[in-house]
Amino acid sequence: MSVSFKTLDLNLLKVFDAVMEERSVLRASQKVALSQSAVSHSLARLREMLEDELFVRTAAGMQPTARALTMAPQVREALRVLEAAVELPTFVPATSTRQFTLAANDFATMVLASQLLQILGREAPHIDLTIKPVTRIDLAEQIDLGRIDVAIGVFSLPPGRFRTSLLFEYDDVLIASKKRKLGRLDKAMLAGLPLVVVSFGGEQEGAIGGFISERGLARRSEMYDRDALERALAESDRPPRMAVTLPHFLAVPGLLQDTELAAIVPRPLAKALAQNYPIATYELPYAATPLEVRLLWHERVDGEPAHEWLHDVLRRAAENLRRGM
């Protein structure tokens, strides 16, 4: 059966987009304000027109077929363009009830959240945020599909369809329990410490040079400068010992208490943790490469007032971090 766009009901594409996003007929029906039977009927019509199942029901939800995955970004973009064409391009933060979805690791969330929420409380008290982990997801796909409005992280040469903006820079420091009283660190002392480090992925997930690449988007997975550490201790009798490698920073303060462990962490995080935990911060006996934490978004939202405002708010939330370097 050949498909004619002239006879295509655009409501079918809205239903398709909702099921693609929610992976559930029930949640899709709530999203588009239709009954479940109406959503199922619309899917059946679209399946017949396109001669493809589009979605297969599994225990994990409605899984898209290859045809659906190919269609999804184009359908989402077409609906966005149509919506922009019929709606006034205005955005009033003080009265908006929008929900924005961010992707960030726990480090970025911990050092930005307080200032960010203060700004939102003053300027946009009805706006809601969903923060998804930047790890364990195909970040590029999620941004391409419009499920993530902006990602926060360290990226290497993003593809041309993405835009970036600097938030802040950081380097590494060492933290340990205040009980340790390490004094001035030298390389020999560092070589003898059992270290805690954070890595959001490893070789088993395709990490190369500390970065994981998905669909051309490379994001940093190792949250410390491994190369600088290994170079600094290359002549030591003992190579650096990674006693504990974690996928997040949340457990680090607890691991340092009443143990011989020390951790290499971003400088802004060390400052934040020291406000709430009995830890001391030490300068490393080598120069770690400063890293840029950046915002990253899809080019299609350039110029949209709501997204421009969101990016500005995030940059303002990071002002103290920029001054702290």
The CATH code of the domain that includes 155 is 3.40.190.10
Question: Where residue 214 falls among pLDDT bands split at 50, 70, 90?
Answer: confident
When computed from its CA atoms, the radius of gyration of the chain, rounded to whole angstroms, is 24
Residues 182 and 269 in one domain: yes
Q: What is the mean pLDDT of the chain?
A: 89
* Residue at 299 is within a domain: yes
293-305 per-position pLDDT tens digit: 999 999 999 989 9
Q: Are residues 183 and 274 in the same domain?
A: yes
**Same domain membership, residue 210 and residue 222:** yes
Assess if residue 107 is contained within a domain: yes
- Domain assignment present for 91: no
**Could you tell me if residue 276 is inside a domain?**
yes
Q: If you average pLDDT over each of 2-6, 205-209, 232-236, which comes out highest?
A: 232-236
319: containing domain? 99-170+292-324
Confidence of residue 204 (pLDDT cuts 50, 70, 90): very low
Q: What average pLDDT does this structure show over 248-272?
A: 94
Which range is least confidently modeled, 33-47, 199-213, 274-288?
Answer: 199-213
φ, ψ at 100 (rounded to 5°): -105, 145
The answer as to whether 53 is a domain residue is: yes
Positive or negative torsion for Cα 25, 30, 31, 33: positive
- Residue percentage of the chain with pLDDT more than 70: 93
Decide if 104 is inside a domain.
yes
Pair (69, 109) in one structural domain: no
The rounded percent of the chain whose pLDDT value lies above 90 is 65
- Based on the fold, state whether residues 268 and 190 are members of the same structural domain: yes
Q: Is residue 93 part of a domain?
A: no
- CATH number reported for the structural domain that contains residue 34 in this entry: 1.10.10.10
pLDDT at position 310 is: 97
Q: Give the total residue count for the chain.
A: 325
- 296, 249: one domain: no
Q: Give residue-wise pLDDT tens across range 163-195.
A: 999 999 999 999 999 998 888 899 989 999 999
Position 138 scores a pLDDT of 84
The answer to whether residues 166 and 300 belong to one domain is yes
Please determine, for residue 1, whether its predicted confidence score (pLDDT) is greater than 50: no
Residue 94 within a domain: no
Are both 216 and 281 inside the same structural domain?
A: yes
As for how many domains the chain has, the answer is 3
pTM of the model: 0.73
CA angle 102, 144, 22 (to 5 degrees): 70
Q: Do 254 and 305 fall within a single domain?
A: no
- pLDDT band at residue 203, thresholds of 50, 70 and 90? very low
Instruction: Tell me: do 54 and 159 sit in the same domain.
Output: no
Structure confidence by residue, pLDDT tens digits, 47-93: 988 899 999 999 888 999 999 999 999 999 888 888 877 765 678 99
Residues 119 and 222 both lie in one domain: no
- Is residue 177 located within the same domain as residue 276? yes
